[in-house]
Structure 1
């Protein structure tokens, strides 16, 4: 990952929305101070949030999926539906790309 220079590159992105989607194969409890990974998954995304902040992007809460590699087909289908719904809601709330 790298930072872009706001003055010459990042300003083109200013005000744009960003939504991060991430999957983890482990259970949510593994992403805690007492868990195997020590940090919550959302906290592990901090460098991405920092880059978004530097470019003045509008950060949305990440779409996080746990147990991704251990989910049944039905669970994955439910997650896919929820993700599609999240994307629709996110797009509806975002300003038009032509407005910027």
Structure 2
């Protein structure tokens, strides 16, 4: 696995996010209250809202535009909403957030 060092875990506040800009689009990196880290497309499939600006609660994020809720582990919309965002392999090692570069190179533009 080809890993890219994104940032220190401490660079993202608990229940917050940061954006990684790539030639293929933006990826939102989320940190939960319990220091779990998730990586998702930063675009809600409903109206294109920036998920990185949404509210993190547990292992979910709520889109800031129309309140769609996504499970950050699966990318699936929760409740009655029908939608999904792509998820990417990410892990924390020695306090650093590492993102799998292979997933980014396969993304559609």
TM-score (structure 1 length as normaliser) = 0.27
TM-score (structure 2 length as normaliser) = 0.26
**Larger RCO of the pair (alpha carbons < 8 Å, separation 6+):** 1
Name which one, 1 or 2, has greater alpha-carbon Rg: 1
User: Of Structure 1 and Structure 2, which has the larger fraction of its residues in strand?
Assistant: 2
